[in-house]
């Protein structure tokens, strides 16, 4: 079955948010929202789950801390114990204070970069990727809501458009997708 | 949306719409550069190239071309390093710490402050590298398997901690800055008309499309990076201060160094931000976004950190006497009354006296005064490092090895050259990058923009068409969205409100 994508354009974030609320309460599925800046509070309305990148950052940080600890223990205690100013260096614990700064820095390094790389991969935003916003104005001052007929089988395209028109849109556009 | 107190000064002046913000920030990038830009760029480039020449001469001849001697083995190189790292502290402080504190005024300045940070840390990183003498062996500071010889790098040494701290700081700041830039590059991409600039901004914007899920991730990533960068900022300059504090030289061996250096870094960093932004806002017509209130806020930060620095100087003096350690006491008496007295008193005047003038509201809201003080502070902070480093070294334990430090013209050339290079980078940034965080400014337009702030009461007589229309209609509903489950579930999404 051919899928129709309907793009409803708004010129205000709050109008779009209220429109989305109304549509969702009627049982319409909003498949995507494109906006020039984050619209606060839109995610639960259109059913976007909160990201779990924060958990990933924690895990990357933990990895960094572990690597730093294992590394410094190996370099400074096991492989070549360095005698610095005659201070004891027979165990990791003897020298732990000197290892704290690098442990911290390496934790931050791994957490930040691990999270950033995951973020780029999950968003599929990488150098040279094509832009996918339906209208160039959505990065300026327009907000676009995307509905798909395949996800709203209980409504016809006309019904969806009629409902959209009640929500204060400024432009309406549709596209057939194979 | 949270309502702001009506008496609080708006952060965006005039009757701006979302589109106006895009226009105001993108126009300088899309238009031809003004003649002044070329003149400044040319001057900066010549100075920068002279610096590069001096560095090449240094590398070809050896570190002996600096004015160092047996007693003063560390002088301008480390002074400049610490000075640049210090300047590099404001950007991340503004974008990370102020993000955690939900300070909306940071949004007008964070982009350029962070660019400044990155360029300043580039300049800082140059000094330890060229000080190695053999630049091409710089990778020896990394913990590489030891087929070069016999030892690993020394993980007990603050100099190695510095390697980790500076590289982490630089790369994390760069990533933080770039992630914020991506949506703004997308805005420029979608407006670009010329094929080359369209292509370039298209590559740089990574295909950003502004999907709801992407914004959700964007906000969380910004928040977590801010959370990571905040302790990082403090750790970096603490570690820089360990280079001195863990030594046994009187005048360096003090436990007060880490907090004192961090405060000094923020102090000088904000001063540099003021110097740059006061010119930039004028040159690029951004007075509506960076105005007196922003300058005042920054001056308050300068005043507070300047007072912390002043307290630290006086504490140091007191402790040098109170500790009863003769060498320590002498180091400080020598600073204030010895042959480098002029450097010490320049530092005291610039860093302790000048920020206190900011207590006067008239002065801290005066742009000209701020500009002058910002330069005075940066001169003072350079002298601070020079005083700490050179005056502590030049009178050794043995009077027979006492000496003075006279900079050579290569010292001078390298230092001035880094200032030139810094401005080359900053001017290129101002020419090709969005200097204000577009997408972030748009999120505060309705809560802190002048034409929205006191709506709907104040706007009746104003001929402001689209801006007011859009805010009125959703007003009633917007509040009940806020009071329902939406906000509670979505804590992380609130970080700009």
Q: How confident is the model over B297-321, as a mean pLDDT?
A: 92
Of B17, B155, B202, the CB nearest to A102: B155
Answer for the pair B65, B410: CB distance below 8 angstroms, yes or no. yes
Q: Which residue of B has its CA nearest to A98?
A: B156
Full-model pTM: 0.87
Distance (Å, rounded) from C-alpha A45 to C-alpha A24? 7
The DSSP string of B236-286 is: HHHHHHHHHHTS--TTT--TTHHHHHHHHHHHHHHHHHHHHHHHHHHHTT-
Cα-based distances in Å from A54 to A62, A126, B449? 13, 20, 31
* pLDDT value of residue B150: 65
B78 vs B467: which has the higher pLDDT: B78
Pick among B212, B443, B456 to test the A interface (most A CBs inside 10 A): B212
Q: How many CA atoms lie within 13 A of A67 on its CB side?
A: 14
What b-and-e string marks burial along B54-75, b requiring 16 or more CB atoms within 10 Å of the CB?
bbeebbeeebebbbbbebbebb
Distance (Å, rounded) from C-alpha B99 to C-alpha A38? 15
Share of chain A above pLDDT 90, in %: 21
Of B171, B210, B232, the CB nearest to A138: B210
Domain boundaries of chain B, sorted by first residue = 18-140+151-169+230-449
3-state SS, residue B446 = helix
Segment holding A177, helix H or strand E: strand A171-177
Q: Is the Cβ pair B481, A41 closer than 8 Å?
A: yes
CA dihedral sign of residues B418, B420, B424, B427: positive
pLDDT in tens, B428-440: 998 889 888 888 8
Residue B449's φ and ψ, nearest 5 degrees, are -80, 145
Is the confidence at residue B450, as pLDDT, over 80?
no
Q: How confident is the model at residue B475 (pLDDT cuts 50, 70, 90)?
A: very low
Task: Residue B154: list chain A partners with CB under 8 A.
Answer: 82, 84
Architecture of the domain whose range is A3-50+132-177: 2-Layer Sandwich (3.30)
Distance (Å, rounded) from C-alpha B280 to C-alpha B116? 12
Of B191, B206, B235, the CB nearest to A125: B206
Task: Residue A129: list chain B partners with CB under 8 A.
Answer: 206-207
Q: Is the Cβ pair B154, A37 closer than 8 Å?
A: no
Pick among B217, B434, B475, B483 to test the A interface (most A CBs inside 10 A): B217
Q: Which residue of B has its CA nearest to A22?
A: B477
Q: How confident is the model over B422-430, as a mean pLDDT?
A: 93
Q: Is the Cβ pair B216, A51 closer than 8 Å?
A: yes
Cα-based distances in Å from A38 to A7, A116, B232? 18, 18, 27
**Residue for token pair 């601070």:** B384
Q: Is the Cβ pair B187, A128 closer than 8 Å?
A: no
* pLDDT value of residue A125: 84
Of B183, B224, B487, the CB nearest to A115: B224
Distance (Å, rounded) from C-alpha B69 to C-alpha B358? 41
* pLDDT value of residue A118: 92
Q: Is the Cβ pair A108, B175 closer than 8 Å?
A: no
Please, is B307 exposed, middle or buried when counting C-beta atoms within 10 Å of its C-beta (0-12, 13-18, 19+)? middle
Give the distance, in angstroms, between the CA of residue B333 and the centroid of all CA atoms in the same chain: 33
Distance (Å, rounded) from C-alpha B411 to C-alpha A125? 44
Q: How confident is the model over B190-214, as a mean pLDDT?
A: 87
B460 vs B357: which has the higher pLDDT: B357
* pLDDT value of residue B469: 41
Please, is A92 exposed, middle or buried when counting C-beta atoms within 10 Å of its C-beta (0-12, 13-18, 19+)? middle
Answer for the pair B454, B7: CB distance below 8 angstroms, yes or no. no
- CB neighbourhood size of A129 (10 A): 17
Distance (Å, rounded) from C-alpha B494 to C-alpha B165? 31
Distance (Å, rounded) from C-alpha B225 to C-alpha B172? 8
Q: How many CA atoms lie within 13 A of B421 on its CB side?
A: 24
Q: What is the largest CA-CA distance in chain A?
A: 84
pLDDT in tens, A42-51: 888 888 888 8
Answer for the pair B495, B106: CB distance below 8 angstroms, yes or no. no
Cα-based distances in Å from B159 to A29, A55, A92, B163, B264? 58, 33, 20, 7, 20
pLDDT in tens, B158-188: 889 999 999 999 999 999 999 999 999 998 8
**Residue for token pair 């939900």:** B102
Q: What is the DSSP letter of A34?
A: E
Q: Is the Cβ pair A126, B206 closer than 8 Å?
A: yes
Q: Which residue of A has its CA nearest to B199?
A: A128
Distance (Å, rounded) from C-alpha A62 to C-alpha A42? 32
Is the confidence at residue A22, as pLDDT, over 90?
no
Is the confidence at residue B493, as pLDDT, over 50?
no
pLDDT in tens, B108-123: 888 889 999 999 999 9
Answer for the pair B124, B81: CB distance below 8 angstroms, yes or no. yes
Angle between helices B158-191 and B212-245 (to 10 degrees): 150
Distance (Å, rounded) from C-alpha A40 to C-alpha A18? 12
Task: Residue A109: list chain B partners with CB under 8 A.
Answer: 164, 167-168, 171-172
Q: What is the largest CA-CA distance in chain B?
A: 83
**Would you mind telling me the total number of residues written for chain B in this entry?**
497
Please, is B233 exposed, middle or buried when counting C-beta atoms within 10 Å of its C-beta (0-12, 13-18, 19+)? buried
Q: What is the DSSP letter of B96?
A: I
Answer for the pair B238, B258: CB distance below 8 angstroms, yes or no. yes
pLDDT in tens, A83-129: 777 777 778 888 888 889 999 999 999 999 999 999 999 888 888 88
């Amino acid at each position: 079955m051919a899928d129709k994508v309907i793009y409803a354009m708004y010129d205000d974030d709050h109008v779009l948010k209220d429109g989305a609320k109304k549509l969702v309460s009627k049982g319409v599925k909003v498949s995507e929202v494109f906006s020039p800046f984050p619209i606060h509070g839109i995610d639960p309305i259109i059913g976007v789950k909160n990201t779990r990148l924060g958990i990933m950052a924690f895990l990357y940080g933990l990895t960094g801390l572990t690597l730093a600890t294992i590394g410094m223990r190996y370099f400074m205690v096991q492989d070549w114990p360095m005698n610095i100013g005659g201070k004891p260096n027979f165990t990791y614990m003897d020298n732990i204070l000197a290892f704290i700064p690098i442990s911290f820095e390496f934790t931050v390094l791994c957490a930040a970069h691990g999270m950033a790389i995951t973020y780029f991969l999950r968003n599929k935003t990488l150098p040279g990727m094509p832009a996918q916003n339906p209208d160039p104005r959505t990065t300026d001052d327009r907000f676009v809501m995307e509905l798909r007929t395949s996800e709203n089988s209980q409504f016809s395209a006309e019904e969806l458009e009629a409902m959209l028109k009640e929500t204060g849109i400024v432009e309406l556009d549709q596209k057939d997708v194979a | 949306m949270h309502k702001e107190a009506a008496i609080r000064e708006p952060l965006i002046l005039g009757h701006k719409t979302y589109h106006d913000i895009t226009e105001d920030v993108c126009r300088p990038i899309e238009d031809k550069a003004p003649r002044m830009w070329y003149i400044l760029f040319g001057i900066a480039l010549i100075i920068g190239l002279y610096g590069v020449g001096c560095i090449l001469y240094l590398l070809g001849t050896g570190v002996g071309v600096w004015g160092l001697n047996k007693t003063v083995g560390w002088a301008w190189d480390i002074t400049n390093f610490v000075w640049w790292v210090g300047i590099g502290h404001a950007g991340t402080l503004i974008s990370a710490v102020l993000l955690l504190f939900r300070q909306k005024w940071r949004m007008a300045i964070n982009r350029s402050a962070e660019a400044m940070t990155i360029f300043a840390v580039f300049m800082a990183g140059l000094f330890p590298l060229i000080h190695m003498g053999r630049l091409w062996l710089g990778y020896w500071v990394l913990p590489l398997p030891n087929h070069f010889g016999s030892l690993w790098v020394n993980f007990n040494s603050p100099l190695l901690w510095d390697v980790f701290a500076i590289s982490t700081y630089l790369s994390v700041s760069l990533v933080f800055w770039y992630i914020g830039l991506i949506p703004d590059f997308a805005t420029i991409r979608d407006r670009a008309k010329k094929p080359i600039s369209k292509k370039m901004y298209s590559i740089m914007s990574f295909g950003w499309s502004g999907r709801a899920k992407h914004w959700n991730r964007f906000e969380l990533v910004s928040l977590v990076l801010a959370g990571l960068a905040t302790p990082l900022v403090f750790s970096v300059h603490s570690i820089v201060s360990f280079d001195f504090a863990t030594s046994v030289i009187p005048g360096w061996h003090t436990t007060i160094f880490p907090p004192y250096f961090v405060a000094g870094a923020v102090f000088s960093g904000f001063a540099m931000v003021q110097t740059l932004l006061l010119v930039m806002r004028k040159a690029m017509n951004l007075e509506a976004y960076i105005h007196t209130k922003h300058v005042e806020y920054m001056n308050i930060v300068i005043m507070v950190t300047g007072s912390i620095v002043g307290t630290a100087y006086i504490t140091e003096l007191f402790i040098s006497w109170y500790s009863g350690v003769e060498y320590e006491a002498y180091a400080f008496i020598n600073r204030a009354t010895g042959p480098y007295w002029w450097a010490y008193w320049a530092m005291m005047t610039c860093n302790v006296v000048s920020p206190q003038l900011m207590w006067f509201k008239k002065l801290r809201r005066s742009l000209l005064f701020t500009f002058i003080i910002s330069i005075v502070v940066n001169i003072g902070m350079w002298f601070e490092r020079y005083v700490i480093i050179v005056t502590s070294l030049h009178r050794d334990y043995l009077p027979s090895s006492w000496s003075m430090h006279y900079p050579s013209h290569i010292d001078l050339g390298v230092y001035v050259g880094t200032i030139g290079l810094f401005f080359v980078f900053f001017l290129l940034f101002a020419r090709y990058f969005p200097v204000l965080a577009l997408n972030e400014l748009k999120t505060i337009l309705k809560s802190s923009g002048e034409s929205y702030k006191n709506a709907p009461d104040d706007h009746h007589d104003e001929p402001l068409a689209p801006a007011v229309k859009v805010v009125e209609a959703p007003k009633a509903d917007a509040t009940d969205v806020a009071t329902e489950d939406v906000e509670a579930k979505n804590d992380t999404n609130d970080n700009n409100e």
